[in-house]
Amino acid sequence: MKVKQKGILSLLLTVVVIAVTAFVAVCGIGSKKWGSMSDVKLGLDLAGGVSITYEAVKENPTRQEMDDTFYKMQLRAQDFNSEAAVYMEGDTRINVDIPDVTDANEVLEKLGDAGKIYFIYGQSADGVENIVQDAESESRWKLARPIEDIIADGDVVIDGSCIAGAEAVIGQNSLGANDYQVKLTLNDSGKSKFSEATAYAYSYYSQVSLSVRNIIAIVYDGAVYSAPMVSAHISDGNAVINGQEDYNESNQLASIIRNGALPLELQEIRSTVVGAKLGTEAINTSLMAGMIGFILVLLFMIIVYRIPGMAASLALCLYVTVMIICLNLFNVTLTLYGVAGIILSIGMAVDANVIVFTRISEELGTGKTVRSSIKKGFEKALSAIIDGNVTTLIAAAVLYFLGSGTIKGFAQTLAIGIVLSMGTALFVTKFILNALYNVGFDHEKFYGIKKAGRIFPFTKHSLKYLVVFGVVAVALVVSLIVGKANTGNSLNYGLDFMGGTSTEIVFEGSAPGNKELEQLVQDTIGKQGEVVQIQGEEAAIIKTEVLNLEEKTKLESALNEKYGVSGEDITSTSISGTVSGEMKSDAVVAVAVATVCMMLYIWIRFKNIGFAASSVLALCHDVLFVLMIYAVSRISVGNAFIACMLTLVGYSINATIVVFDRIRENMKEKLKKESVEDVVNASISQTISRSINTSLTTFVMVFTLSVFGVSSIREFSIPLMAGIVCGAYSSVFLAGTLWYYINKVCMKKEAEQ
């Protein structure tokens, strides 16, 4: 009775923990709703906004110049949104992400504009006035002559490169009232210039009669924003500008001074503009896909694995809620690919449970008790779970360090998901399963008994597998040649790999025809555009060469005028040829690095180079197969291609390791009368149900993404589904068989020595 009570209490505790974490995940904690879904930081592709990458025009800029430019870009970006993120890329590039902006074109126009700011003498030494009072307002000033003439005459005191900082402060005047000021700080190059200028201007300072010579005016983009009198000689580079009417005016002036000029001229090499409406649609459809896929996986687990499936389902519910909380805890910015990573990791989370449950049913098949089988099942599954997940973590790590923007988000969520899935499978599922056993689910019928099944002679059909391998390779070569002949490119390289501008538009009704949109582009900006209709959506993608801001604005206005499409319904992405070339090389490097790292890990863990070599050969088959899918179907090869390939590499290795782990285990227990070939065939046969079931659950999750996801996710999920099927095939039919023949050759060489 005490055991049953303990089981009931354990189940109640599980339900309470799931309920609490679910509450936190949905509602959050405190007024800021910490931990909730609404508190998760959304990336640009979900919240809408602007992402731009700039590169310094100057060759080999100094570190100081880049640091100063980076700092000022931070200030500019934060003026648009306090959640803006600015970060360095290499030594000459700056990335700026500004979420949730209403006028993206305004941001593009102002953010990268060099926008020269000058502090000028009110009157030149020759008596020529540089500023005069504005006739419309005596409190305002304007330039008396063009700024170019003022610069040519040497009447500029300092420019933006001399400014170290500017901030709004509240001081007090002689009467004790608030004095709204701007505290100005100059760098070393500006101190001496400003000291000389203020000494000159101060010499004309008089309480009785003021002269324009006593003024040093602040000019930005040809407009006079402030014309303060100089009431002291300033030699230390620290000045105070007072006389503003309120704090907002002081803050605005400080912002203009801070952001006025960049030490380096920047050029835009990559930009993405996502309409807020499209971001909302993307997250809603992706979450729907996740929910449907999750429910299908839970039903599958319960139907196939009964009580263990029920335990896994409860553990998976906890996994999802904790995953949401972890996104807050680790301050992860959730992107569209990040949502895909979570959904994929749910499918992969089932893998560890399937391995355990298969082991439990096998132990029951040998005549052990249910309790003993549960214990042994978890023990024997441990090494396969750890090795399989570590290899997938390697792929996630490579994606994070070598990927960009949204791909990093995918890598983060995938990595967190893998770690959590291991924890829930090895500890939470075990805890719940023992509780269910104690409650009374202690009969074999609740767990399923797996007797020693038929052993299939996989190794005898190795020639057939090699033929399939050859067919895939030939089909790839043919499709690449045909693609090259028909389109000029072997693969359908997307914007990321070719450069250009992609404009995605969501229409109120059905999208116009291709010819109509192409003609609109030609008439509006005078450039050829390729239109791609998105099936199942009232949307279209227009691909052109790289468009500048003026051309983007014209195209958006034309779409609005003719079809009533607003900026919220338009996503624009521009990538220069330089960046696209780098992405091609990065893709190859990423896949190569991940493959080598995984091979080294397998070699170390299994202490046999045959396992590492055969896993790489099986991977080559999978990569070639998915590449063939891209070539035949002409799916766009872009940034998602890198994520798809690396996910495939990690997933396929994960499935292969389960087979290898069983071979390693059976080799240790091999009877004298058994041959290595017998062991390999038995190991593959024993793990085949696991390979099918895990592939099926992961396929279901990715399939829901392809059905309900937006176009960019669909381009990622369709090849990944092909990769999952191919990965299951290679892990069952190729990997073990390849190891057998490689090991046979190695053993023969050792015997000859």
In the predicted model, is pLDDT for residue 101 greater than 80? no
Instruction: Give the pLDDT mean for 570-592.
Output: 69
Burial of 117 (0-12, 13-18, 19+ CB in 10 A): buried
Please report which confidence band the pLDDT of residue 121 belongs to, taking 50, 70 and 90 as the band edges. very high
How far is 297 from 422, CA to CA, in rounded Å? 17
Stronger pLDDT, 709 or 355, i.e. the higher one = 355
* Model pLDDT, residue 210: 59
pLDDT digits (tens, 9 = 90+) for 267-288: 877 777 766 555 667 677 777 8
* Model pLDDT, residue 592: 80
Distances (CA, A) of 166 to 64, 72, 83, 222: 19, 11, 21, 20
% pLDDT > 70, the chain: 88
* Model pLDDT, residue 750: 63
Are residues 343 and 329 in contact, defined by beta-carbon separation less than 8 angstroms? no
Determine the 3-state secondary structure of 118 from DSSP: strand
Which strands sit side by side in the sheet containing 117-121, from one edge to the other? 156-159, 117-121, 216-220, 223-226
* Model pLDDT, residue 324: 85
In the predicted model, is pLDDT for residue 208 greater than 50? no
Determine the 3-state secondary structure of 268 from DSSP: strand
In the predicted model, is pLDDT for residue 342 greater than 60? yes
Which domains are delineated in the chain?
44-114 (3.30.70.3400), 117-261 (3.30.1360), 275-478+580-752 (1.20.1640.10), 500-575 (3.30.70.3400)
Stronger pLDDT, 270 or 352, i.e. the higher one = 352
How far is 385 from 707, CA to CA, in rounded Å? 30
Cβ of 743: how many Cβ atoms within 10 Å? 20
Contact residues for 315 (Cβ-Cβ < 8 A; gap 6+)? 353, 424, 425, 428, 429, 432
Contact residues for 575 (Cβ-Cβ < 8 A; gap 6+)? 269, 270, 495, 496, 499, 500, 546
How far is 294 from 423, CA to CA, in rounded Å? 19
* Model pLDDT, residue 374: 92
* Among the listed residues 147, 184, 183, 182, the one whose alpha carbon sits nearest the alpha carbon of residue 163: 184
Distances (CA, A) of 701 to 271, 327, 345: 31, 20, 9
Please report which confidence band the pLDDT of residue 434 belongs to, taking 50, 70 and 90 as the band edges. very high
Token pair recorded at residue 267: 């050029």
User: How many residues are there in the chain?
Assistant: 753
Stronger pLDDT, 351 or 458, i.e. the higher one = 458
* Model pLDDT, residue 70: 81
Contact residues for 491 (Cβ-Cβ < 8 A; gap 6+)? 480, 483, 627, 630, 631, 637
Average pLDDT taken over every residue of the chain: 82
Indicate if the alpha-carbon torsion angle 537, 539, 545, 550 is positive or negative.
Answer: negative
Please report which confidence band the pLDDT of residue 246 belongs to, taking 50, 70 and 90 as the band edges. confident
pLDDT digits (tens, 9 = 90+) for 716-737: 788 888 888 888 888 889 888 9
In the predicted model, is pLDDT for residue 639 greater than 70? no
In the predicted model, is pLDDT for residue 91 greater than 90? no
In the predicted model, is pLDDT for residue 536 greater than 60? no
State which H helix or E strand residue 324 sits in: helix 276-329
Pick the most confident of 52-61, 294-303, 578-587. 294-303
